[in-house]
Structures are given as structure tokens and as C-alpha cells.
Structure 1
């Protein structure tokens, strides 16, 4: 008796989708350089889901490596406030037929612009558009396509400039997980004031706007910079003093201002880690023990590997076939965070 799931084919906007029969009513909701996303209904659970099909993931070594990394990261994410995988499948029954795979994730109603660190992962692209919100006001971080493991050497391209840490903008130095703390500070500032904090027209304008708030750094920080150009550039800047954050954020509470002060610091070494930031009194009324599961460290041994296309493809096939869904906690607790608390 054949126990394998049955598949059907459907062309959606000139792309052929081959999905399991339980996923119905496919409707394209997004498309980009690396793939497209459809909403669908899982007929077994009646749940609305988002299905992502990568665009020709095995057309080159680079595409295959990117596909493998995205699959590995999504499989690793097991937290109710991070978009993880509900399912991953391929219609290929053997490796020789393997050309495509599909990532199934929870469907989110909207994102923050319109309405994670113990594991050793840096997101690099935290911004309102990457914070999904559902009808219960539950928030999830999404789009780990750009996420990189901590130890890998990283360059600062593709990330939206307004939420980007200054050390990423100019590739000043080997950076750490506190680049995400900077982005969180920018998002919190925007939620507080209702407008983008650093809306730079270009890289230099972005940096100038940042320094008008943080102040121009002293010699200890300048010494840390890897780039001689960055060192000489900062020395040419007029002396901006650090702004008074209580004036900058008149609607925020004293604790909110104190937290923003700690996160929006030019020197990444001086910013708190995620763990430290979460211990701040600002979060006292929101903290629940279940919010802090112990994550497994992410194994990034393949992140910098140079493998052949066939080897990357075999790794992807192995990951698709070994997928086991994570039992989800049914949480209806609303993540309602008000800036005035």
C-alpha cells in the first residue's frame, strides 16, 4: 500500500507548483529574486499557511548553499515568536528526481510596518517589515534568508539602511550579535514616536543622522575601527554631543527611555546582549518563564564550506527528508507592548 502523500500540479503566475494534495487554494502573496510565496489552506488542520518555493535552488553552487542555509535555519527555529517550519516537502521520491522543495510556515496577517541570540544566530535584517503580526497581536520574526551564524565573516549588503547598525553600514569591524540590538532600538523608537528614527538618504547621511543622536565617538572607539578610511572620516566630523533621550522620546516612560539609551549606543561592545536587555525593568510586567526556552546551539559547520553543487543538493535532500514537525504550544497570550508603560 502506497503511504506517500499525493501531489497535484498547478501553474501560478508562470511558475509550476507541485504540492501535497492537503494544501489547497494556493494564491500568490509575494515574489522576489529567490522565490515566491503562496497562501494555502491545510485541509487536514483547516489552518491557513504560507508556502515558499525557492526559484531554481539548484541552478548553481551559490543558490544551493543559500537554499541549504535557509532550510537549516528554519528547521532550527523553535520559538513561538519566530517563524519556524510547519512542514517541508518535495514531490521527488528519490535524489535523482530532486529539483525543488517547498517550505511551509504559519500564515501571518500583516507586518509591523503596516499595522535571537543564545543559539548563536544574528538576524542582520530586523525591521518592521520582518516582524509579522497576526489577528491576536502575536508577533513573529521572519525572513531568515539573510541571517548568518555568529562566527562567519559577514558583509553589510542588502539590509534596509534605516535599521542597520552603524558598524554594518560601513563594514567598520567584525561585528557581533549586538547589531540586532541596534535594530531593536530603532524599531522601539519608531513605535514610541510613530516615525522612523534614522531615515538616511544614503550611507553618509544615515551615519550623520545617527551621530547627531548618539554623539561623535571618542578616541577609544575610533581605535577599534578596522578601516583607516572610517577612522579619518570620523575625525573630520563636527563634534555632535549625545542628544537627551527624554527630549527625543517625550511619550516614553522613564524605563523605556533608559532601555533605548542602552540599545542605541554607537559602540556595539557597549550595547547589552539580548539576555541582558530582557532583564531590564521595562519588561518586568511582560516577562514569562516560558518565553525563555533553552535553545540548541546552531551548527554552522557548513556555513563557510566550499562544496560542489551535487554535495549541497544532497545535504538539502537529507534535510527535507529528515524533517520532523515541532509540537507547538497553543498560546493565545497577546503580545501587547505599550510604549507608555
Structure 2
């Protein structure tokens, strides 16, 4: 929606597709979700993340409430307020992601993390689609890693090397031995390939966790994923904010951005 002129406009309106609901409301409803529903929602989420990750953008706040849906089962990722790029100069250890969907490396205050944190969140969301309830509902504090271990089983020594805080490492080691709970018993009606993909996304060690592309290439996605479709982003993304912009500069920059979409407005 273009303003009347380029010199003194004060308001900017962004019009987006109307999405009737979000995935959290759908999960909490009595609506039946088939394997095809779960598969299609997961596919769209992974495809959107593949585009973001292709330029190093981490969403960092993926949860069912941030995934908009409509009656056609279209899904859109929203709420990029905590999104960052891998090379950002801002602190990467600030509070991110609702606790139940937060990756182990975040909960254990690791200084470095990457796009694999989003994959963990996707795994949690996928599990919630399959079971209609959160897979890792924990209490505040360090209770959340305990919930991970109760479900995934005792974490082997090799899978703890990414933890760079000695105190947190000792805490995980102190949780004792537990066999965990097989995903197949948690979700007995789920497709076997869905269980296999879930196991590869919810891996405690981020270096061994599936990437978004690997998840899309998994056999569970074969009916929907076309490697030649949905190419990666071609233009580098910079989320840095310049603090010395006045109103005039902001207006000029926004006008140029609008002209990218509607060059005919140059005549205005």
C-alpha cells in the first residue's frame, strides 16, 4: 500500500495474508489430525526454515503459537522479534524460546549455538502434533534438562562435550541412569517414519542433530519435498540496526524499499 507521496508520509501499512488461527489453538482443539496433516505442517515449517537458515538466520522462538495456520492447512512462520544471524554482534545467550521448546545448549547456557536450536524446537512441535501435548513440559530452572533425560534416557559421555559450563556438565552427569521412553510407545499411532525423523531431530548433542535440509530429505518427507523447489535465499541478510537514522533517512530508505515491489510508484 503506497503512500500519497514520497516526501512527508508518516504511516506505513503492511497487509499480509489473513491466517485464521495458529498451531497451538489447533493442537488444543478437538479437531482430528491425520498423519497427512502432521506431515504437511512439518513440511511447510521445515521449508520455511530452510530459507531462513540459508542466510544464517536463527528464528530462536519457534513454538506452536508462532506458527499461523488457516483452513487450507497453510502454515506461516511469524514473530521474528528474537531472530538473529549467526554472525550478529549481539549477545547470543539472552533469553530465547519458550522453555518447553528450548534446545539443551540454550538451557545449559552454552556460549555458542547455531541453527540446530531451531531444529530442536521443530522436533518439539512435531511431537506435540503427534501427541497433542508438549513432549518436554518442565518447571523453571534446571528442571527442564531433567525432563529431557527422563524422555531421551541417560546421555552418554560423548554427547556432553558441547557443554562448556563445568557446573552444568556436572549437573547433567548427576541425573543418574534412566532408560528413557521410546517415542514409539509415546506415539503408538504415529507413522514409523515419523518416529524415525523425530528421533533424529530431538538429539541432545547439537552436532549430531539433523539439519533442516536432512529433515526434508528424510523418507517421511519424500511425498512432499522436491529438492529443486524452494531455492535458498540469494541476498545476504543483515539484521543490524543503525542507531543514527533520523526520520528523513528512514523515510527515504522505506520509500526505496517500497519501490522494489512497486516501481511504477516512481512517477508519484
Question: Same fold by TM (over 0.5)?
Answer: yes
CA distance change for structure 1 residues 295 and 185 in 2, over 3 Å: closer, same or farther? same
Q: Please give the TM-score of this superposition, normalised by the length of structure 2.
A: 0.77
| Residues 1:118 and 2:54 aligned together | yes
Structure 2: distance between partners of 1:326 and 1:289: 28
1:68-122 per-position Cα deviation (integer Å, ceiling 9, x unaligned):
xxxxxxxxxxxxxxxxxxxxxxx8835xx86x64443322111011122212111
Task: Give unmatched runs, 5+ long, in structure 2.
Answer: 27-48, 263-268
| Residues 1:106 and 2:23 aligned together | no
| Residue equivalent to 1:311 | 245
Between 1:219-228 and 1:106-115, the stretch displaced more is 219-228
Deviation at 1:241, TM superposition (A): 2.8
Q: Please give the TM-score of this superposition, normalised by the length of structure 1.
A: 0.62
Structure 1: distance between partners of 2:156 and 2:109: 19
Structure (1/2) with the larger strand percentage: 1
CA distance change for structure 1 residues 187 and 120 in 2, over 3 Å: closer, same or farther? same
Between 1:198-207 and 1:109-118, the stretch displaced more is 198-207
Identify the match of residue 144 of structure 1 among 64, 67, 80: 80
| Residue equivalent to 2:125 | 187
**Partner secondary structure for residue 244 of structure 2:** helix
1:5-38 per-position Cα deviation (integer Å, ceiling 9, x unaligned):
34xxxxxxxxxxxxxxxxxxxxxxxxxxxxxxxx
Structure (1/2) with the larger helix percentage: 2
Determine if contact 2:93/2:111 at 8 Å carries over to the other structure.
no
**Partner secondary structure for residue 132 of structure 1:** strand
Determine if contact 1:161/1:203 at 8 Å carries over to the other structure.
no
Deviation at 1:218, TM superposition (A): 2.5
Structure 1: distance between partners of 2:154 and 2:253: 47
Q: Which has the higher relative contact order, 1 or 2, with Cα contacts under 8 A spaced 6 or more apart? A: 2
| Residue equivalent to 2:215 | 277
Q: What is the number of residues matched between the two proteins?
A: 233
Task: Give unmatched runs, 5+ long, in structure 1.
Answer: 7-90, 328-341
| Residue equivalent to 2:65 | 129
**Partner secondary structure for residue 16 of structure 2:** strand
Query: How much is the aligned-residue C-alpha RMSD, in angstroms?
Result: 2.6
Deviation at 1:233, TM superposition (A): 1.3
